[in-house]
Amino acid sequence: MPDSDSFNSSEYKSDPADNASSGSSLNSAQNAAFDEFLLQLFRSEITQNTINLHFSLSSPASYGITDIPISLGGISGQAAEQNRAALENTVAALKHFNTEKLSKTQKLTYDILSDYLSMEQKGTDFSLYNEYLNPSSGIQAQLPVLYEEYRFYNEDDIKTYLKLLPLTGSYFEQIIDFEKEKSSAGLFMSDAVCKEVIEQCSRFADDGDDHYLILTFNKKVDDFKDLSDEQKTAYKKQNEKIVKEMIFPAYTSLASSLSSLLGSGKNEKGLCYLKRGRDYYKYLVYENTGCADSIADIETMIGQKRLSDLSEAAALTASNPDLWTDAQKLSLSSADPTSVLELLKERMQSDFPKAPDVSYSVSYIEECMEDYLAPAYYITAPIDDYNANSIYINAKTDATTMRYFTTLAHEGFPGHLYQTIMSYQSGLPAIRSILNYPGYVEGWATYVEMMSYHYAGLREDAATLLALNQSALLSLYASTDIGIHYDGWSLADTIKFWNDYGISDPDTIAEIYRYIISEPANYLRYYVGYLQFLELKEYAKETLGNDYNEAAFHQTLLSIGPAPFETVKKYLKEFYQK
């Protein structure tokens, strides 16, 4: 196993100034021991699931990871108990380190890991409340995309992939067993959500011979230069056989099993109607936002921001009555996604550190998944291969609008792609790549999305108005999320709330209600995360005074990386370099 000196730049770069101040060999030993602890933890966690491993590392062997079992992971009761025990052991091991002897970058990692483990431990109390089959973010929706995007760096990757696919059926069986447990406990999903998932699974195999898991595999194999024509043909036939005889039946079986559970869901409303539902929602809010404020304080924060945005927008339109009408008519001069991304990369330079020179691909979501997936999404690059960046666009997204422009900013520059690569280049330890803080990640992307209106070549007042409108709209979704899942809003309550803000189409509001029922706290990761970045900016300006610089502020946030917002604030001044 490599020691800490063999880490590459994507894992961990020690700061000589951190250790020089102590001049202590004891501290150096503690630093090395902590690095080794983090590396061993990373190795242990990343090898639990072949897909996570593959998307995190293009070369596992360079991290001392070899002879890995092929697995999609486990979600059985036994796996949950093993996870609980593993968390307790990891917490105990972490506490053995004296934080006073760690470098500042190690202290940052210690604090983040400590928070993450605590959050995971709290989550074990709500294991049956978890839902693996949400229509948009569920495994049944995401797994095919991950299969499609599975990269072949060498022939062994092709062989591993072809061993992984047949495990889909047994993995789905684990999920069904879990759903039956939920059903028995009165925690099964509503019939409306269940029917959506069933329809999605039933449609999965509609394309038959032209299914994208066959077509995309064939293309990747054809592009692989180190195979003979005979080998390529053999691999193609093997994949097609697996897809048709194992993957399709797995989805059909999942749909059938879910159909048998229809009617067992006891709650068609928010989480607060479940036993301990409010407690679970509190946990979900922190997990999704990284914001430790109370639900009441978060509600207030959202409402105040909405009021401020609407007041500012009203002032703009009062001085120019045609501004809103004119702003709505604005369209892009070029809808080519790569051209838009390159334009964004150029125009963001006054506010952000220069974007790294990395490659990326832009592809379209397969037609059979368009109704269920987001307008666009970014596939995170492996930590040891910055050039493996992929952005997927839903063809149903209108490519002529400003929303298309800002969506590409959200996913690309200066959004997810940029944030991911910049954080990698700052030298975060490998373990940080698997500590999930969606409030930071999605909050950052939403924060820069709002800024991107000013990169579109619009008049400043029009760009500001569109950004204010988008912020106010997202605030409505965020308030509705809390209203439904914590305050107990019915569909009628939700309709009334949206009507108060001029949105009156009952079908649209009903669709919003159904989505939020199935994806609790999802909108909060975007909007509350965004508000937390705005608060951090105000804090930085107040604290740093004349030393504040926009690009340096953003560089600092990126070098700290995904974390709970209290931790980001704690280390902001210490990591700031003008």
pLDDT digits (tens, 9 = 90+) for 525-566: 999 999 999 999 999 999 999 999 999 999 999 999 999 999
- Beta strand residue intervals within 470-571, DSSP E: none
Q: Is residue 51 within 8 Å of 146, Cβ to Cβ?
A: yes
Residue 332 has pLDDT above 80, yes or no: no
pLDDT digits (tens, 9 = 90+) for 5-56: 222 222 323 343 344 444 456 678 889 999 999 999 999 999 999 999 999 9
Q: Are strands 389-393 and 376-379 parallel, antiparallel or unpaired?
A: antiparallel
Average pLDDT over residues 59-68: 92
Token representation of residue 488: 């107990």
Residue 123 has pLDDT above 70, yes or no: yes
Residue 189 has pLDDT above 90, yes or no: yes
Q: Is residue 76 within 8 Å of 174, Cβ to Cβ?
A: yes
CA angle 338, 341, 347 (to 5 degrees): 140
Q: State how far the Cα of 354 lies from the Cα of 102, in Å rounded to an integer.
A: 31
pLDDT digits (tens, 9 = 90+) for 191-205: 999 999 999 999 998
Token representation of residue 94: 């972490």
Sign of CA dihedral 432, 438, 443, 446: positive
Query: Of the ranges 75-79, 178-182, 219-223, which one carries the lowest mean pLDDT score?
Result: 75-79
CA angle 399, 520, 376 (to 5 degrees): 20
Q: Report phi then psi at 215, rounded to 5.
A: -65, -45
Residues 6+ apart with CB under 8 A from 445: 410, 411, 415, 416, 419, 526
Task: Give DSSP secondary structure letters for 83-109.
Answer: HHHHHHHHHHHHTTS-GGGS-HHHHHH
Token representation of residue 395: 């063809």
Query: Of the ranges 165-169, 376-380, 475-479, 572-576, which one carries the lowest mean pLDDT score?
Result: 376-380
Residues 6+ apart with CB under 8 A from 236: 217, 218, 221
- Beta strand residue intervals within 323-450, DSSP E: 360-364, 376-379, 389-393
Other C-beta atoms lying within 10 Å of the C-beta of residue 397: 18
At residue 25, the pLDDT reads 61
Q: Beta partners for 378?
A: 391
Q: Is residue 477 within 8 Å of 496, Cβ to Cβ?
A: no
Q: State how far the Cα of 62 lies from the Cα of 76, in Å rounded to an integer.
A: 32
Give the percent of the chain with pLDDT over 70: 94
Q: Is residue 274 within 8 Å of 281, Cβ to Cβ?
A: no
Residue 374 has pLDDT above 80, yes or no: no
- pLDDT confidence band for 145 (50 / 70 / 90): confident
pLDDT digits (tens, 9 = 90+) for 443-500: 999 999 999 999 999 999 999 999 999 999 999 999 999 999 999 999 999 999 999 9
- pLDDT confidence band for 373 (50 / 70 / 90): low
pLDDT digits (tens, 9 = 90+) for 79-116: 788 889 999 999 999 999 999 999 999 999 999 999 99
Q: Beta partners for 390?
A: 361, 379
pLDDT digits (tens, 9 = 90+) for 399-424: 778 889 999 999 999 999 999 999 99
In whole angstroms, what separates CA 150 from the centre of its chain?
18
Average pLDDT over residues 127-137: 93
Q: Is residue 494 within 8 Å of 484, Cβ to Cβ?
A: yes
Residue 211 has pLDDT above 80, yes or no: yes
Residues 6+ apart with CB under 8 A from 337: 362, 391, 393, 399, 408
pLDDT digits (tens, 9 = 90+) for 333-344: 777 899 999 999
Mean pLDDT of the chain: 91
Residue 246 has pLDDT above 90, yes or no: yes
Among 266, 294, 296, smallest CA distance to 190 is for 266
Q: Is residue 217 within 8 Å of 165, Cβ to Cβ?
A: no
- pLDDT confidence band for 280 (50 / 70 / 90): very high
- pLDDT confidence band for 372 (50 / 70 / 90): low
Furthest-apart CA pair in the chain: how many Å?
A: 71
Q: Beta partners for 361?
A: 390
Helix (H) or strand (E) holding 168: helix 168-184
At residue 518, the pLDDT reads 95
